[in-house]
Amino acid sequence: MSIFILERGASDYMYDSAQHSSNWKKRRKRRQEKLWEDRVPIWHYVLNALLILLLMGMVLTALLEYIDYVGSLEQLEAKAGQLAFFETAPEIAASAAMAPAVTVAAASGSDKEAKTDIAEAFAVMENSAYTALGEIPLIVIDAGHGGEDSGCLWNGVMEKEVNLAIAKLVKEKLTGLGYRVVMTREDDSYVTLADRVRIANESGADLYISIHQNAYEDVRAEGIEVWYNEDKSEGDDKRLALLLGQQTVKATGAKEREFQSDSRMYGVINTTMPACLIETGFLSNKAEREKLVTAQYQEQIAQGITQGVSYYFEPKTMYLTFDDGPFRENTLQVLSVLRERNIKGTFFLVGEYVEKNPDIARQIVEEGHTIGIHCYRHDYHELYAGVDSYLADFEKARQIIFEVTGVETRMFRFPGGSINDFNRETRDQIIQDMTERGYIYYDWNASLEDAVNNPKPEQLIANALDTAMGRKKVILLAHDVVKTTGNCLDELLDYFPEYRMLPLTEEVEPIQF
């Protein structure tokens, strides 16, 4: 009986042991399966690693920007210290000293705005055209008359007082823009003409502007008048006079009188820098006198003078372009005007005229102008009959222009512009083919509109002014085959003193219709 039990017990033992082993294996398998189910995918680790690297990069970038920011403040404060010694420009130093008010706290959320403020502060102190400390333009503002010399006197209004009030406003505005300013007088004191000139010349000024009022026995006389000396060789006096007159008339709405060149004016002739004298109105004219004594009108005058100075140093850009030449008589006249004014333009040449006038085509290049390809024969119907006809004409023009001038230009202009009544069906394909060949086409955003019968000079000038619209960048279309264009070109350029004239190059972003 006991053996049975033992055997049964053993059997039971053996059974229980096997069952236990089996259960353990099942539990281990389930644990492994659960571990596999609960495992973190490897892409989680990769993503976390990338996020950590990104966070470290952001921290490093923020640190570098902070260092750069602090460095900018230090530079700004140093610049303020450098500028402070200029007794003639305390406002500049003040504008620099205020920059540290842009606090470091900006780095926590508005550092972009803070850095923008820093950039603007630098811009105020350092005119973009004159970046070095010693190159910040210095303007001498001369308030005419003073002391016992009242200037003209009408109905109790003394010229010296109006002059000084406007001069102070001009100084305030110019220093606010970052220019250095010297006043020949800042109170009701008498300064001789010789001392005014000495102040300007010894200061090393870049400009001299003398502010006056006018008077005439005919009390109907009115408007703004500017005097300069065209015989001075030291600077661009005429351009300064044109700018001051143009911008002051624009700011005030006053009548523009003729610009006067006179070598008898002591301050204008004896200063060594570009100089002019602006008479901002007639005290003898009742209506104009009443405006000249008001703060509002004086503010407008000061704004006009300031804008004129600003354009003198930082002009807008105009590209003079001439189509359809070279034509012997007319192109030579255009070249003469540009040479006299030291202006470079761009000529879009016609191949058949290059064949007829190869010497003029070469002269255009030799005198520093740039050239582009217009066409070989200016026949719209033939030219735009199809894509192949255009490309064939263009290639013929290109070869002739290259053979004559040695210039392999990539610039071209569509006869009639890139959008015209003749190329509607071919335009897009021509542009695609020409672009693939590496050529750039240039349209325009202003025009003399001189391709008409018997154009009048005054109308061509009006057309140019109306279409330029004061834009910062202008590509002006003209035709050097039109005689009237050559005749009025010199006068036309006087209407755009706020622009610097440059030739087109392949680096200039084109204007395209």
Predicted pLDDT at 53:
79
* Buried-state track 250-287, b at ≥16 Cβ within 10 A, e below 16: bbbebeebebbbeeebebbbbbebbbbbbbbbbbbbee
Do residues 327 and 299 both lie within one domain? Answer: no
Return the pLDDT at 176.
96
Residue 290 lies inside a defined structural domain of this protein: yes
Would you say residue 358 lies in a domain?
Answer: yes
Same domain, 386 and 455: yes
Q: Which residues of the chain have pLDDT under 50?
A: 1-17, 72-133
Q: Evaluate whether residue 157 is within a structural domain.
A: yes
Query: Is 78 among the domain residues?
Result: no
Q: Are residues 307 and 330 in the same domain?
A: no
Instruction: Say if CB 86 and CB 94 are below 8 A apart.
Output: no
In a shared domain, residues 303 and 237: yes
pLDDT in tens, 146-188: 999 999 999 999 999 999 999 999 999 999 999 999 999 999 9
- Do 275 and 207 belong to one domain? yes
Residues forming beta bridges with residue 308, ordered by sequence position: none
Identify whether residues 321 and 394 lie together within a single domain.
yes
For residue 275, what are the domain limits?
134-313
Same domain, 226 and 240: yes
Q: Are residues 451 and 432 in the same domain?
A: yes
> Cis peptide before 326, with omega less than 30 degrees from 0?
yes
pLDDT at 36: 53
Residues 154 and 257 placed together within one structural domain of the fold: yes
Asked which of 260, 278, 313 is the last residue of a domain, the reply is 313
- 310, 287 in Cβ contact below 8 A? no
- Beta pairing partners, 277: 210, 227
Report pLDDT for 377. Answer: 96
Q: Clarify whether residues 307 and 392 are in a common domain.
A: no
Measured over the CA atoms of residue 302, residue 318, residue 484 and residue 343, the dihedral's sign is: positive
Nearest-5° Cα angle at 260, 209 to 311: 45
- Residue 180 identity: R
Identify the helix (H) or strand (E) that includes residue 35. helix 2-38
CATH of the domain at 274: 3.40.630.40
Residue 211 CB contacts under 8 Å (≥ 6 apart), including other chains: 141, 142, 143, 144, 163, 166, 167, 170, 277, 278, 280, 305
Q: How many separate domains does the chain show?
A: 2
> What's the pLDDT at 111?
46
**pLDDT of res. 378:** 94
* Residue that is last in its domain, among 313, 332, 356: 313
- Residue 185 is assigned to a structural domain of this protein: yes
Domain shared by 252 and 359, yes or no:
no
For residue 395, being part of any structural domain is answered with: yes
Q: What are 57-62's contacts with CB under 8 Å, separation 24+?
A: 62/107
What is the maximal distance between C-alpha atoms in the chain?
157
Residue at which a domain ends, from 282, 313, 344: 313
Residues 257 and 139 in one domain: yes
In CATH, what number is assigned to the domain containing residue 331? Answer: 3.20.20.370
Residue 397, CA distances (Å) to 366, 374, 408, 412 in order? 20, 8, 11, 11
pLDDT in the model for residue 59: 74
pLDDT of amino acid 125? 42
Query: 90 is written with which tokens?
Result: 């305390």
Q: Are strands 180-183 and 225-228 parallel, antiparallel or unpaired?
A: unpaired
Is this prediction's pTM over 0.75? no
113 assigned to some structural domain = no
Torsion of CA 65, 69, 75, 78, to 10 degrees: -150
The answer to whether residue 26 sits within a structural domain is no
Contact call for residues 253 and 224 (beta carbons, < 8 A)? no
Taken in order 91, 97, 101, 107, the sign of the CA dihedral is positive
